[in-house]
């Protein structure tokens, strides 16, 4: 079968390699999935660039965590799935401790993958494979941030999402479905109308308005927001804290604005707010989110789809930042 690998020691997208691998066999509790679509997350860029936690991969590794496809075979002891079922893999696969697809485990940028049945969820019927491939990392992270960590987001809340990538746009969609107002930030004026069309009430250009927390406070009549989907990390955390309403929360997810910092935590204390570290989520959260996606007929936002042979071009387009939501590779 065809696969792409990140070679041991890889430092750039140009090192991605197309290879032939033997098709996987199913162990007793495994399900063999014919992967139909995958989606890129920021971490996939870090893995191929040798900058993911721990540095470059130490063995040739099939990249990417997020995939959806069709069950083509099951092991003798499998009870949750049967051939023909449409499934997506969970980001963390069962194990002690659980481990992530795409590093350290081999990922889904290949035609077939064999996974333990407990590392899969059924797809919402209304989603295509491309749309479903957007869910396992970005959307589950957004679900965990909004509804499972700290006070759950509810109707009438205001949520601030930083940037317009996979996690932030999933959070926008899920928060709107819960009846919340969403304010977004973006580096790009071109993205403003697209993000408003998805339901953001306001979009602040954080390059032209570097003190965007003041604009957040102005837009909320001084009250601040109930939740910040914080994908900037050390570089944005201080402003996120100053964006909060009393009793608000920050879901700390990413580090796109810098990993090192010396942030004064006093604003959290003064507003009685909380800070929650988020690391994707588990299968139960994925299934809970899928129920909300079905009820609310949510379809993930795909900016562009690339064919399997053009995986390096997909990585380069994603690395350019010139997208809203998700970039997908079909298999």
C-alpha atoms less than 13 angstroms from C-alpha of 162 in its C-beta half-sphere: 27
- When binding is defined by CB under 6 A, the residue of 188, 263, 299, 330 that contacts ligand NAP is 188
CA of residue 107 relative to chain centroid, distance: 15
Q: Per CB under 6 A, does 280 bind ligand NAP?
A: yes
Q: Per CB under 6 A, does 255 bind ligand NAP?
A: yes
What does the alpha-carbon distance between residue 290 and residue 132 come to, in Å, rounded to a whole number? 10
Q: Per CB under 6 A, does 100 bind ligand NAP?
A: no
Q: Per CB under 6 A, does 302 bind ligand NAP?
A: no
Q: Per CB under 6 A, does 300 bind ligand NAP?
A: no
Residue 260, both tokens: 């090192």
What does the alpha-carbon distance between residue 302 and residue 99 come to, in Å, rounded to a whole number? 27
Q: Per CB under 6 A, does 143 bind ligand NAP?
A: no
Query: By CB under 6 A, how many residues form the interface with ligand NAP?
Result: 31
Q: Per CB under 6 A, does 165 bind ligand NAP?
A: yes
C-alpha atoms less than 13 angstroms from C-alpha of 144 in its C-beta half-sphere: 23
- Minimum distance from CB of 261 to ligand NAP (Å)? 12
Residue 98's contacts (CB-CB under 8 Å, 6 or more residues apart) are: 92
Q: Per CB under 6 A, does 102 bind ligand NAP?
A: no
What does the alpha-carbon distance between residue 232 and residue 252 come to, in Å, rounded to a whole number? 8
- Minimum distance from CB of 167 to ligand NAP (Å)? 4
C-alpha atoms less than 13 angstroms from C-alpha of 92 in its C-beta half-sphere: 16
- When binding is defined by CB under 6 A, the residue of 250, 278, 314, 329 that contacts ligand NAP is 278
Applying CB under 6 A, which residues contact ligand NAP? 41-43, 137-138, 141, 162-167, 185-188, 191, 206, 231-232, 235-236, 253-257, 278-280, 321
């Amino acid at each position: 079968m065809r696969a792409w690998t990140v070679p041991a020691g890889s430092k750039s997208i140009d090192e991605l390699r197309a290879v032939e691998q033997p098709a996987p066999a199913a162990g007793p509790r495994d399900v063999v999935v014919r992967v139909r679509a995958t989606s890129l997350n920021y971490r996939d860029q870090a893995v191929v660039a040798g900058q993911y936690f721990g540095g470059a991969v130490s063995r040739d590794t099939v990249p990417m965590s997020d995939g959806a496809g069709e069950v083509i075979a099951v092991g003798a002891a499998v009870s949750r799935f049967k051939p023909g079922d449409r499934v997506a893999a969970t980001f963390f696969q069962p194990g002690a401790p659980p481990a992530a697809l795409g590093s350290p485990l081999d990922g889904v940028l290949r035609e077939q993958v064999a996974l333990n049945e407990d590392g899969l969820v059924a797809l919402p019927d209304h989603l295509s494979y491309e749309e479903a491939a957007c869910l396992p990392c970005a959307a589950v992270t957004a679900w965990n941030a909004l509804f499972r960590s700290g006070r759950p987001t509810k109707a009438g809340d205001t949520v601030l999402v930083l940037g317009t990538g996979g996690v932030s746009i999933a959070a926008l969609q899920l928060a709107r479905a819960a009846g919340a107002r969403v304010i977004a930030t973006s580096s790009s004026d071109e993205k403003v109308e697209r993000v408003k069309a998805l339901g953001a009430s306001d979009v602040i250009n954080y390059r032209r308005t570097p003190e965007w927390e003041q604009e957040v406070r102005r837009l909320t009549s001084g009250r601040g927001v109930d939740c910040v989907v914080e994908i900037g990390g050390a570089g944005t955390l201080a402003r996120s804290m100053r964006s909060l309403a009393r009793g608000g929360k920050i879901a700390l997810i990413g580090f796109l604005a810098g990993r090192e910092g010396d942030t004064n935590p006093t604003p959290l204390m003064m507003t009685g707010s909380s800070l929650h570290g988020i690391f994707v989520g588990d299968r139960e959260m994925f299934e809970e989110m899928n129920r909300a996606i079905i009820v609310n007929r949510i379809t993930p936002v795909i900016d562009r789809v690339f064919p399997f042979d053009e995986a390096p071009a997909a990585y380069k387009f994603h690395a350019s930042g010139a997208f809203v939501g998700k970039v997908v590779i079909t298999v």
